[in-house]
A and B are shown apart, each in its own frame.
Chain A
Amino acid sequence: MRVGVVTFPGSLDDRDAARAVRLAGGEAFALWHADADLHGVDAVVLPGGFSYGDYLRCGAIARFAPVMGPLVDAARGGLPVLGICNGFQLLCEAHLLPGALIRNDHRRFVCRDQPLAIERTDTPWTRGYAPGERIVVPLKNGEGGYVADERTLDELEGEGRVVARYLDDNPNGSYRAIAGVSNAAGNVVGLMPHPEHASEPGFGPDVRSGTDGLDGLRFFTSILDGLVRV
């Protein structure tokens, strides 16, 4: 029951993702970008940050890291993978998810407590949520605008692959207010906001958000519950 968390040079939220896995009751296993081996982990989190400084394009260099070879194969074979923020950008660059993430429409970095609707709940990462449930987790990025062509967007909507959508204001100009999507099978999920930062009492969104600040934890309990069941 081990959840691997990959560290690339420039990863920032890797320790936080590992902490969330532990808080959910799981074992976090550190994977290294230069090691082309998943060490038998049962699921993988690609954390937030600025891998390789986000030079060229966010995630564009990280997708060629040695660890990505076995990871892409395993993801195609059904391994649960969650890409958060930079991890989402990386999953798009690696073509495990459609679309791309571009600079926020207002051209500024934004850090705020973001309300979301969880729309797809049959993925291994979101099974703990009720369909349409409103949650609040931190959003923090400069390049979080989700874009894809109309056909792809229609396909994602038609196949129920929009995992999470921004509620209230669209914080970054994402098309159709999309905050997270999955692959067709549902095992690969990319999400711009940070559920790992709403997983520990006292260190997530405060009561101003109208929540207890723990709305993100179920991403991690979901995956562990699923793994236990299998």
Chain B
Amino acid sequence: MRIDTVQRATSSADTEQPWAELGLKPDEYQRIREILGRRPTSSELAMYSVMWSEHCSYKSSKVHLRQFGEKTTEAMREKLMVGIGENAGVVDIGDGWAVTFKVESHNHPSYVEPYQGAATGVGGIVRDIMSMGARPIAVMDPLRFGAIDHPDTHRVLPGIVAGVGGYGNCLGLPNIGGEVVFDPCYQGNPLVNALCVGSMRHEDIHLANAKGAGNLVILFGAKTGGDGIGGVSVLASETFDTAGPSKRPAVQVGDPFAEKVLIECCLDLFAARVVEGIQDLGGAGLSCATSELASNGDGGMHVWLDRVPLRDSTLSPEEILMSESQERMMAIVTPAHLDEFVAITAKWDVEATVVGEVTTTGRLVVEWHGETVVDVPPRTVAHDGPVYERPMTRPAGLDALQADAPTAGRLARPSTGEQLGATLLQLLGSANLSSRAWVTDQYDRYVMGNTALAMPDDAGVVRVDEESGLGVAISTDCNSRFVALDPCAGAQLALAEAYRNVATTGATPLAVTDCLNFGSPQDPEVMWQFAQAVTGIADGCQQLAIPVTGGNVSLYNQTGATAIHPTPVVGVLGVLHDVTRRTPSGWREPGEAIYLLGVTREELGGSSWADVVHGHLGGLPPVVDLDAERVLAQVLVAASRDGLVSAAHDLSDGGLAIALTEACLRYGVGARVALHELCERDGVDPFAALFSESVARAVVAVPDAAQARFADECAARGLPHLRIGEVTDEPALDVQALFTLPLPQLRKVHEATLPAAFG
């Protein structure tokens, strides 16, 4: 094998190079030549191609993502210890504790190879959290599939769920929530997003930079193999062409055992204070880790690539630089700490190799058996990639879509009690509103012993500090049907729902992460959706006064000409001073009053009712009201703290009808409610009262003794509140004058759907 060295590149300027096959555009290749003043070597070309891919460089999204930083005010920064740009954002939760969290996509690999794609999605986000110096403490996985009865859903779903469980369970991280959504728009493009949260003491925060000339660059963890080569450039950055060859070799293969050992090993290394800087190896592998560490530090690094331990000795330098083999980390260590570092890795049987050292040359130099194969300014690889202002157009069909509102004339509505009860059952057993237990029972929610709430509650809650009970609540949400109808409002609705879900448990919302799943950026209509959604989230966060701390963009989620619904998944994290005081989503005590908080309007555009009953998507989504969300959250948090509510459940998909049913089924305790006062106050009919999806609403159960104080609390903050009924000792949901449904019947309908579909 003849190695392409810098020396050769200088003397053979006209050699044809496979830049197009590596996903680079002609002008991008030309720019690399300009930066280097010569043609790149094949190793340099490999590095630039992966680092300048859409996935790594955010070249289409960058101009829009800036808003997240620009719209973060000083007040919002107060709790923000590390912001966007590092592996994950870090938030101060008090008492000297910090948490770091982020959600990422692994959509394309999971489509090609469901089990490994999903498994390594979990592995990748967990390493991001580790590289901040934190112990990972929980995961959650927002998943989206095609129609529940589509053959491809049956191909990918079992493997994806098993992969999420197989990897996360074996790592010993509780899976505390997430989503499972079915919609035909995801056929051929399932979305596998993975969120991880980690905790640490303030002083344990670590960053990805290589500082201090003479410090050592250590690669540790698994050996490097040929898996995942070109994962980011080939898989994540292009549209699938169904006629093309199989892309299986581009999917990485995960070993959760290796990662579990790596977690414990890293925590020991952090505790021993022998790590100056650290970076995980994920997308773009060594290319990413070396160039980012160098450009974030003193600017130079010398790497002896032939020292990298290999699983396959035939790998070329280019392949080693591009490999996305899992379970690897890179640390910057002073020579004085080397022995201690190696002793700790040896304790965990983790292989550690000094592969380079930090320099102040301003160059990233990679040597292969004595010859220089890479000599580049690292910043040009890591940060100065191309930036595109892609053309944008409002989708041609959007006006017609928005005009097609689900009016009473357009879609037949139930009106009698019997019809309303039947509609509730139809929704409850539908693909998206039925019990998720078939999926979530494949995830370990107990491991670590800190889980205070998990699915099916509104948010997952885990304890951070065993002494005080301090902990966090997290929820991820996105109703992509709303986003399709109005990308800006839809993205804000996703933010609002996650925010509300966190507050429902009694937690104070603190920070946001997002995973922006969209179609091809080369489609101006998709770019318009993207820009609208980013603006919506950035403005919404400003209004709610919680910052975006990091996240991920996944583009090219389309097969052929059809893009998915724009799907900006939003994760909100909140803090609870004592997680044992969290509010669960179901009521338990007969006799307690049930209050509906917030205002109900007739808002059925994009609703579950329109979808399930009529297969209809049109009109406008519910009106966003973030001020009302803030007030609702303040009341929920205060009421939880003061012990004024014993249960709280947010209203979202399926409206009041589904919220009441879920709150009954949570602990198998019934309720009796009456709607006439609500209908009168808000000017809606019983159908809208039950199935409208107006925002900023929740149902709560209030103990007798707390009713007066609770009502005062709501009144003081101007939150509309209405006592609509009470918890009963009858095992039924009784909506007076309309219908009564026994809980066993509701439970049967709720729990039958996923097992019937997937076995």
Q: Using a CB–CB distance below 8 Å, which chain A residues touch chain B? A: 9-10, 12-13, 15-16, 19, 48-50, 52-55, 108-112, 138, 140, 142, 194, 196-197, 200-204, 206-208
**Is B198 among interface residues, defined by CB-CB distance under 8 A?**
no
A155: min CB distance to chain B, Å: 33
CA distance A203 to B442 in the complex (A): 19
The reply to whether B172 and A140 contact each other, CB–CB distance below 8 Å, is no
CA distance A206 to B356 in the complex (A): 52
Q: A13: which B residues are within 8 A, CB to CB?
A: 172, 447, 449
Q: A108: which B residues are within 8 A, CB to CB?
A: 162, 442
**Is B740 among interface residues, defined by CB-CB distance under 8 A?**
no
A selection of 14 A-B contacts at a CB cut-off of 8 Å is A16-B449, A53-B256, A53-B257, A53-B258, A54-B257, A109-B162, A109-B442, A111-B440, A138-B446, A140-B169, A140-B446, A196-B449, A206-B584, A208-B666
Residue of B nearest to A55 (CB): B257
- Residue interface bits B77-109, CB-to-A below 8 A is 1, else 0: 000000000000000000000000000000000
The reply to whether B449 and A200 contact each other, CB–CB distance below 8 Å, is yes
Task: A52-B257, A55-B257, A138-B446 are known; give 4 further A-B pairs, CB within 8 A.
Answer: A9-B261, A16-B449, A50-B260, A140-B446
Given contacts A53-B256, A201-B580, contact A15 B448 (CB under 8 A): yes
B514: min CB distance to chain A, Å: 28
The reply to whether A16 and B162 contact each other, CB–CB distance below 8 Å, is no
The reply to whether B449 and A111 contact each other, CB–CB distance below 8 Å, is no
Q: Using a CB–CB distance below 8 Å, which chain B residues touch chain A? A: 162, 165-166, 169-172, 255-258, 260-261, 348-349, 440-452, 463, 466, 579-580, 584, 588, 666-668
A141: min CB distance to chain B, Å: 9
The reply to whether A194 and B257 contact each other, CB–CB distance below 8 Å, is no
CA distance A110 to B255 in the complex (A): 20
The reply to whether B668 and A208 contact each other, CB–CB distance below 8 Å, is yes
Q: B668: which A residues are within 8 A, CB to CB?
A: 208
Q: A49: which B residues are within 8 A, CB to CB?
A: 172
A9: contacting residue among B349, B466, B579, B666, CB under 8 A: B349
Q: A111: which B residues are within 8 A, CB to CB?
A: 440-446
CA distance A220 to B96 in the complex (A): 33
Q: A200: which B residues are within 8 A, CB to CB?
A: 449
A203: contacting residue among B171, B172, B449, CB under 8 A: B449
Q: B446: which A residues are within 8 A, CB to CB?
A: 111, 138, 140, 194, 197, 204
Q: B166: which A residues are within 8 A, CB to CB?
A: 109, 142
CA distance A196 to B170 in the complex (A): 18
CA distance A109 to B162 in the complex (A): 8
B712: min CB distance to chain A, Å: 29
B458: min CB distance to chain A, Å: 14
CA distance A1 to B749 in the complex (A): 52
The reply to whether A208 and B452 contact each other, CB–CB distance below 8 Å, is no
Given contacts A49-B172, A140-B444, contact A12 B260 (CB under 8 A): yes
CA distance A15 to B263 in the complex (A): 15
Which one of B440, B448, B466 has the greatest number of beta carbons of chain A within 10 Å? B448
Residue of B nearest to A198 (CB): B446
Given contacts A53-B255, A108-B442, A109-B169, contact A197 B449 (CB under 8 A): yes
B447: min CB distance to chain A, Å: 5
The reply to whether B260 and A140 contact each other, CB–CB distance below 8 Å, is no
B752: min CB distance to chain A, Å: 16
CA distance A79 to B447 in the complex (A): 27
CA distance A207 to B666 in the complex (A): 10
CA distance A208 to B255 in the complex (A): 35
The reply to whether B667 and A9 contact each other, CB–CB distance below 8 Å, is no
CA distance A203 to B446 in the complex (A): 8
Q: B584: which A residues are within 8 A, CB to CB?
A: 206
The reply to whether A50 and B170 contact each other, CB–CB distance below 8 Å, is yes
Q: B588: which A residues are within 8 A, CB to CB?
A: 207
The reply to whether B447 and A16 contact each other, CB–CB distance below 8 Å, is yes
B165: contacting residue among A109, A201, A207, CB under 8 A: A109
CA distance A19 to B349 in the complex (A): 26
CA distance A10 to B350 in the complex (A): 13
B735: min CB distance to chain A, Å: 23
Q: B445: which A residues are within 8 A, CB to CB?
A: 111
Which one of A108, A110, A202, A204 has the greatest number of beta carbons of chain B within 10 Å? A202
CA distance A52 to B256 in the complex (A): 10
The reply to whether A16 and B448 contact each other, CB–CB distance below 8 Å, is yes
Given contacts A202-B579, A206-B584, contact A10 B449 (CB under 8 A): no
Residue of B nearest to A202 (CB): B580
Residue of B nearest to A48 (CB): B447
CA distance A24 to B640 in the complex (A): 30
Q: A53: which B residues are within 8 A, CB to CB?
A: 170, 255-258
CA distance A9 to B166 in the complex (A): 17
CA distance A16 to B172 in the complex (A): 11
A169: min CB distance to chain B, Å: 12
B196: min CB distance to chain A, Å: 16
Q: A208: which B residues are within 8 A, CB to CB?
A: 666-668
The reply to whether A202 and B667 contact each other, CB–CB distance below 8 Å, is no
A2: min CB distance to chain B, Å: 20
CA distance A168 to B463 in the complex (A): 32
CA distance A48 to B261 in the complex (A): 15
Q: A197: which B residues are within 8 A, CB to CB?
A: 446, 449
Q: B447: which A residues are within 8 A, CB to CB?
A: 12-13, 16, 48, 140
Q: B348: which A residues are within 8 A, CB to CB?
A: 9
Residue of B nearest to A171 (CB): B441
CA distance A9 to B265 in the complex (A): 10
B446: min CB distance to chain A, Å: 4
CA distance A53 to B259 in the complex (A): 10
B269: min CB distance to chain A, Å: 16
